[in-house]
Structure 1
Amino acid sequence: MTGMIVTARHGRPNVDRSVKITAREYGFWWANYDKTGLAPDQEPPQSLIDIASEAEVVLCSTMPRAIETADAVTDGARIIPRDALFVEAPLPPPPFFPDFIRLTPTTWGVISRTFWFMGYAPKGTESHFRAQRRVRRIIKRLEQEVMAAEGDVLLCAHGYLNWMIHNVLTRKGWQLVEHKGGNDYWSHRAYRRKTKGRAEPVGKLATE
């Protein structure tokens, strides 16, 4: 029996989402977001700590917020491989918005993601098509890790990327067996490969 693949979203970053900024300023805000670690005084949920303690492999992206999340759920007790393969899908600032329009970073994020999803990708930015190809490489890597470890693999990554991973995993025959926290910070999804049309038993997670 192979193990599970678990994807977790990082904790809450130390940034201000209440500010009103222009579309151009959003580009600088997002660049700073990518350099920022977690806000202080956060505690990961016990369910995620338990998953990390039982996982044979824990991985994370090279973004500070993902690195600090992986360290938090493992209590710094293990060396965690970091890989840029797992960084978040990009969010370039949207085009064609005059500077008198000022919105919160959250609102700009929704607008930017919509433009990006529809194909907008300035020079030097990973397109949605290329991000999908990267997700397929991520899935291959996670499946290899699960088979090699013969146990659970936990990936501490990012909200939208994890959603993209979810879509590909489920199409490839992995069944979602647990989903906690929605898409909020510290949320996670756990998957197990289907066998003969049914998912393998989920063990301890089934009782939580």
Structure 2
Amino acid sequence: MEITLIRHGRSAHIEDHRLNSREFKKWVETYNRLGILEDEVCPSDALEKGVSASFILTSNLKRSIESAKCLNPLAKIRTDRLFREAELPLPASNLPGLKLRPKTWALVLRLLWICGYSQGCESYRDAKLRAKQASLLLTSIAKEHHSAVLAGHGFFNLLIAGELQKAGWTGKRKTGSKHWNTDTYVCLGGDENVNT
């Protein structure tokens, strides 16, 4: 049995100038609304996993769904909000004098989130619980179909990978953060070796 976690393709939202906190909030809303670049090409390792899948799991975000279609236009898409990216917290107030690039905002806010700051979003603890649910669902699907493929999101895939490893799956300790990153987790020896 195997479970493959693939990060979505590059977003069609490519705006990268410095933003204040209010502008960054709007940037995130646009990022979550848009899909992937039209000319996006899947790398061979991701494509190989997608083509072999009869269906691909996705979050309900457009970039995840479009990535699954890019991986295998003929596969059925199973969309589930459970697989959404772990949201970023928002600054408690507008910080008009502080302007950062979107990647810098994301890094700072993700670190604050891991440390316990979760203004306006699910907590790190709750996201880890959701990742456990996601890993159980993926395990159930893999048991039934011998494999499961998720076109998901970078940080949430990392959380799912941790849960899979705790349950006895083997694979990379840490998922990659690049678009189309593909990590496969294997359960050797059958169902009895997976903790559910």
Q: TM-score of the superposition, structure 2-length normalised?
A: 0.90
Corresponding residue of 1:85: 82
Alignment gaps of 5+ in structure 2: none
Corresponding residue of 1:120: 117
Corresponding residue of 1:28: 26
State yes or no: 1:183 paired with 2:177: yes
Measure how far apart 1:193 and its partner are: 1.4
CA contact (8 A) 1:54 1:152 kept: no
Counterpart-to-counterpart distance in 2, 1:82 and 1:155: 10
CA contact (8 A) 2:161 2:174 kept: no
Measure how far apart 1:178 and its partner are: 10
Measure how far apart 1:98 and its partner are: 2.6
User: Aligned to 1:184, what secondary structure does the other structure show?
Assistant: coil
Change (3 A) 1:179 1:46: farther
Work out the number of aligned pairs and report it. Answer: 191
Change (3 A) 1:131 1:177: closer
Measure how far apart 1:86 and its partner are: 0.3
Structure 1: which amino acid aligns with 2:153?
H
Structure 2 residue aligned with 1:131, among 117, 127, 134?
127
CA contact (8 A) 2:47 2:71 kept: yes
Alignment gaps of 5+ in structure 1: 200-208
Counterpart-to-counterpart distance in 2, 1:128 and 1:137: 14
Corresponding residue of 1:205: none
Q: Report matched runs for 1:46-195 at 5 Å.
A: 46-74=44-72, 76-95=73-92, 98-123=95-120, 125-149=121-145, 151-176=146-171, 182-195=176-189
Measure how far apart 1:173 and its partner are: 1.0
Counterpart-to-counterpart distance in 1, 2:173 and 2:90: 34
Measure how far apart 1:195 and its partner are: 4.0
Change (3 A) 1:172 1:98: same
* Two-structure CA RMSD over aligned residues (Å): 2.1
Measure how far apart 1:116 and its partner are: 1.2
